[in-house]
Every structure is written in structure tokens, then in C-alpha cells.
Amino acid sequence: MTRLPRWADLVLTPLISLVLAFGLSALVILAIGESPWLALKTMVTGALGSSYGWGYTLYYATNFVFTGLAVAVAYHAGLFNIGGEGQAAMGGLGVALVCLALPWPHWALALPAAMLGGAAFGALWALIPAWLQAKRGSHIVITTIMFNFIAAAALNYLLANVLRPTGSMDPATARFPEGTALPRLTDMAAALGLDWGKATPANVSFLVALAACGLVWLLIWRTRLGYEIRAFGKSERAARYAGISPARITVVAMLISGGLAGLMAINNVMGEAGRLVLNSVEGAGFIGIAVALMGRNHPLGILLAALLFGFLYQGGGELALFTQIPRELIVVIQALVILFTGALDNMVRMLIAPLFARRGGA
Amino acid sequence: MDLATLLQILDSATRLMAPLLLACLAGLWSERAGVFDIGLEGKMLIAAFAAAAVAAVTGSVWAGLAAGIGASLALACVHALAAITFRGNQLISGVAINFLASGLTVLLGQSWFGLGGRTPSLEGAARFAPVTLPGAEALRGVPVIGPLYAEVLSGHTPLVYLALALVPATGWVLYRTRFGLRLRAVGENPASVDTAGVSVVRLRWAAVLIAGVLCGVAGAYLATGLSAGFVKEMTAGRGYIALAALIFANWRPWRALGATFLFGLMEAVANRFPSLELGPITVPSMVMTALPYILTVIILAGFIGRATPPRAGGEPYVKER
């Protein structure tokens, strides 16, 4: 097979996958008797046509940056962490426990503590599958899937029986104290004299997500640990020969991955809901897989892919409001993106290979 | 707990076991040939939807079954294309299939029936009717065996018996036929099969398609046997429980029967007793829900028994380098 130039592999393959995914989704929309053009227009207007739409798009994108980075860090170590959903749910528990533990005077104090809590719980939830993979050879994909279900059952139990305030019927924690409310992006814009994104949940977590992108880039490509992670991911035997401990890298990479997934909770639990509710993650952990694949496991790519999925998510909600198309269309697009970028990537490469072969021959 | 309750629980465990068993055998076929399949859930889901939709429109449960198998086979083809023909990542392909089914069923269901992703309720010939096994009434008086036969084994839909019959059938084909030997070899050491002049690609495709058919039956049973129609996300993680059962069963057909019955029993107990009281401690139903997954992790960890998956599982076969 023709070897593609690096830029084509990094940029063209995901783009063509995206075009294929959108094309097939358009066919599905046509098949159910709706207009794909109208659907696209509704989504673009709803998600990007106003600062309100942008606010929601950025809010969703923040979630997906965290879960996407989580998948990517594990992926660089050759591990497929499918457990982002459970780790983010556990991160939510960590954030909730921190927020409810003290009458926090100011968000600037509460946020770092909540970040620690969320990351620690997410990381701990990834630790057991990581340890089992490293020491006992249990397949991490299966164990992380199982841990998603165990997390769901555990949170179900805790919210219904332990954390629910007396007298409340809702399986949810009490409201977090006032001091934990994170500043919204709209407040920050107002401070700058701008009228932007009224009544949207986008908050300071978005900036944390941007910082996380930068830190993950530094970690993976500019530190010794990142080098070891990548070496281990490329070839376990070579890494072992170079004196890198497979068990250590597996555990450390999964701790970072789980921690990043857990960090997501500062956005949805602390920033948006202000309490921990049932099923707070809403599939963002799984969208992280699509985001990481689409973004080619690079923080910049992940940021762009997260924005794309934030747009799809917000646009999908608008779609359900204004057309007959249910928001599950987004799940179909997500599935097709995962399929083309992650599983049929060889096919996509074969599709574009002739373009480069001809140029090389001429 | 009196005898009647016990019989009821065993009866409901058998009913709940059937879809798990079918899906577990599907996974067994695929993974024994070296193709991981975490898309069991998605294939069951789309089959459940297609079966319910077609049964609702035609009024025939058999047409529904055929549609369910067809829909599941279509997703199996996608998986085979990605995992075998284009040598893509089998796990990612499975994940994609699960989402594809999850989205498509609601999208199509909403546009066809407008019931928020449900299909109309099925009744009469659009559902599988229970079968009374021969002699069930005559044997009822016999102590122990009689009630077990009449209450637990008899009175299920035909697909339950099909699932049970598929256990020895799978065992026989895999361990007693040439096709089965080659199929297992392809999951352990595909190069050796290739050297013998047998097509690895064709064998793996066959295995994945068989898995597709079995998931189709499992899904059709969910929508037309166990319940009366399709509801959104009705598989509710059964595909993953089947995967867990497969590990529990160490990729062997008879043990798959035992594992899925155990998991069916847990579901039946959780349904019957939302909070189980065992003397001084009360076990909340969430523990029963999580137990299959916890047990699987323990098995995978090798603390009880040892999981030995097919050696070439998950690796695409590259003929020439």
C-alpha cells in the first residue's frame, strides 16, 4: 500500500472520514423523509448562530476535551480506555464530596480542591483495571467496560441511599454551597463589557480544559514520562529492552487517563448542575473515544474534534426542538465517525492512496 | 422462601437466560475464530428493533425473526468488513456498532411509528407464544422432577428451546467437525491454517456471520418473546453481560450455559426481591445488578480460575509482510 505523506494521514484521513460519516447520515435523514440541508442549517444556526448557541457548544466541548484527552493518553500507551464514562462518573462523586465537605468561601479555593477530588476518584477508578492489566494480564477493554457498569450501580446506590438529603425524593446530592459556584463565561464577558452567552452553562472549566490540552501536549512530547509512554505504546518489547517497566507505564498512563476523565466533573457537576445527579456523564465518556480518534490523539486535534462534537451535541438538541429528527442522529454520526476513523481507517487510506501514488509516479 | 417462589424464580431465570445464552454463543463463535466482538449489544438491539417493527407491521412473528436476523447480519457484515477485510481495530469497530444501533433504532423508530422510539405493542401472532412441552401436565404430580419440568422447563417460547439446543450444536460443530477445528485453529494460530491452504479470511467471515445470526435471534427474542415490542435501549447492557458470561465460561459452550443461567438467575432474583434480606443484612438490588460485572472482573483477575482467551483474538491476520 502506498505510504501517505504525514499531513495527509493526520489531516486528510479524519476529514474524509468525517465527510463519509456526514454523507451517510444525510442518507439516513433522506431515508426518514427529512431534508439533510434543513437539518444542517438548523444545527448550524442553533449551535453557532448566536452567542447562546456558542455557550452551550463550548460547555459540551469542555466535557469532550477532558474525556478525549483521557482516551488519548491511554492510547499513546497502547491501552484502549473504554472506561471514561465510569471514571467521569466517579470523578463526579469526588467533586461532589469535596464541594459538600466544607462551606467553601470562594470558588478560587473550591476549584483546585474539587479538581483534586475529581481527578483522584477518576484515577482510582482506572487504577484497578490498570493494575489487573499490568499484573494479571486481564484485558483492560473488558475490565474498563465492567467498571463502567459497576460505577453506574455504585452511584445509583449512593445517590438513592446515602447522599440523598432527607426529605428529598430525587436521587441526587444536596445543592453545593454558594461558594463553589464557578464563574460562567458570560460573567467573564460581562466583566469585559461584552454581552455574550446569557444563560449558558459554559464556565471557567473551559479554560481549565484548554490548559489540560497544553499540559498533555507537554507531557506526551516533552517529558521523559511521555517518551516512555509513547515508546511502550509503539512496542512493548522495545520499551522493556530500554529499561521501561511495562507495569509502571500501564498504571501511570491509566492513572493520568482516569484523572483526566474525572476532571470532567468540574464542568458538568460543579459548573453546571451544582449537585451530583443520576447519570450525570450522559455518554460524554464514550464521545471521548470518537473525539480522540478524530483528533488523532493530539491535543490540538482533540480540541478541534471536541468543538465539532460540542457543535453536534448542541445542534442535535436544536434539531429535536425544531424538526422531526430526534437528537439520536448525533449518536449515529458519532458511531460513523468512530467507525471510519478508528476501524475502517485502512479503507479510508486506500481511498485516498491513488491520489498520492499518481503524483509520485508523474 | 417457599417452593412456589423458588420455581417462579427458576422459571424467570430460564427466560432471562435465553437472550444472554444466544448472545454469549454468538460471542463464542466470533472470538473462537479470533475476532473480538464487543458489538453484541448493538447487534441485539438492532435485531430487537427490526423484529418488533416487522412483526408489528406484518403481524407475523416469524417475519419479525427473519428481519431481526437480517438487521443483525447487516451490522455483522460491517464488523467483518472493518475487522477482517480492512484489518481495522476490532474493539473500535464493536464500539461503533453499538452506537450505530443505539442511534439508528431511535431515529428509524421515531420516524416510522412516532412513539418516541418505541414500536407498537405486539399481540397475538406477532409474538412468540409459550410452548407446553409434551407430558408436562402428566408429569406434574411426580415429586421434584414434575414441578421442575412443568414449571421451569416447559412453557417457554420456541426460541428458548432453540437457545438451549444451540449449546450442544455449537459444541458438536466446534469440537467434532473439520469446520470447527479450522475455526478454532484460526483463533489460536491463523498462520498455521493459512499454511494448510485454508482461507483465514473466509473462516473468520463465516464465524462473524454466525455470530450475527445468533445475535439476531437473541434480539428478536427480547422484543417478541420476552417483551411485547421494542423500547429504546431495551438490551440494557445484556450484550456486555453476555461478554462477561463468555469470559466466565472460558470460551466453552457448555460452561456458557452455566454462566448465562447464573447471570439470568441473578437478574431474576434482583427483579423478584428489589432489596434482598439475608438475615441481618439487606442486599440492595444494585449489588445484584453489578454482581455479574464484579464476578467477571474477579475471574479476569485470575483469583478464581483462569481466563484463557483464544490466542490470536483481536489481531488482524496479515498474510504477507
Q: What value of ipTM does the predicted structure carry?
A: 0.89
- Whether B262 is covered by a domain: the verdict is no
Reduce the DSSP state of residue B34 to 3 states and report it. Answer: coil
Q: Among A149, A236, A351, which would you mutate to test the B interface (most chain B Cβ atoms within 10 Å of its Cβ)?
A: A149
Q: Is A351 on the interface with B (CB under 8 A)?
A: no
Single out the residue of A181, A179, A183, A182 nearest to residue A192, CA to CA.
Answer: A183
Per-residue pLDDT band at A8 (split at 50, 70, 90): confident
- Whether B89 is covered by a domain: the verdict is yes
Q: Quote the cell numbers at residue B48.
A: 430487537
Q: Is A140 on the interface with B (CB under 8 A)?
A: no
- Whether B283 is covered by a domain: the verdict is no
Contact B201, B317 (CB under 8 A): yes
Q: Is A218 on the interface with B (CB under 8 A)?
A: no
Residue B272 and residue B226: Cα distance in Å, rounded? 16
Q: Among B24, B87, B95, which would you mutate to test the A interface (most chain A Cβ atoms within 10 Å of its Cβ)?
A: B95
Per-residue pLDDT band at B53 (split at 50, 70, 90): very high
- pLDDT at residue B306, rounded to an integer: 67
Give A 27-46 residues with CB within 8 A of chain B.
28, 32-34
Q: Which residues, in sequence order, are bridge partners of residue B276?
A: B283
| Helical packing angle, B200-221 and B3-32, nearest 10° | 160
Question: By percentage, how much of chain B surpasses pLDDT 70?
Answer: 98
- pTM value is 0.90
Residue B20 and residue B235: Cα distance in Å, rounded? 10
Which residue from A minimizes the CA distance to B111? A32
Q: Quote the cell numbers at residue A325.
A: 429528527
- Give per-residue pLDDT as tens, B141-156: 777 777 778 778 888 8
pLDDT of A361 strictly over 70: no
Domain that includes residue B125, residue range: 3-235
Nearest CB to B87 within list A33, A34, A346? A346
Range of lowest pLDDT (A95-99, A109-113, A184-188, B164-168): A184-188
Instruction: Give the closest-approach CA distance of A338 to chain B in angstroms.
Output: 6
pLDDT of B321 strictly over 70: no
- Number of domains into which chain B is organized: 1
Q: Among A30, A131, A136, A142, which would you mutate to test the B interface (most chain B Cβ atoms within 10 Å of its Cβ)?
A: A142
Nearest CB to B103 within list A82, A324, A331? A331
Contact B311, B293 (CB under 8 A): no
Q: What average pLDDT does range B109-134 have in this prediction?
A: 83
Residues with Cβ < 8 Å from B1, sequence gap 6 or more?
Answer: none
Contact A122, A259 (CB under 8 A): yes
Q: Report in angstroms the alpha-carbon separations of A252 from A82, A85, A214, A229.
A: 17, 19, 19, 9
Nearest CB to B96 within list A34, A161, A342? A342
Q: Is A19 on the interface with B (CB under 8 A)?
A: no
- Give per-residue pLDDT as tens, B240-286: 889 888 988 889 999 999 999 998 988 888 888 777 777 777 777 78
CB contact under 8 A, A82 and B301: no
Question: By percentage, how much of chain A surpasses pLDDT 90?
Answer: 56
Instruction: Give the closest-approach CA distance of B145 to chain A in angstroms.
Output: 37
Nearest CB to A138 within list B81, B287, B301? B301
Amino acid, single-letter form, for residue B86: F
Instruction: Give the closest-approach CA distance of B6 to chain A in angstroms.
Output: 26
Query: Which residues in chain A touch residue B89, judged by CB atoms under 8 angstroms apart?
Result: 80, 342-343
CB contact under 8 A, B300 and A138: yes
Go through chain A and tell me how many residues it has. Answer: 362
- pLDDT at residue A362, rounded to an integer: 41
CB contact under 8 A, A347 and B86: yes
CB contact under 8 A, B96 and A161: no
Q: Quote the cell numbers at residue A126.
A: 482506572
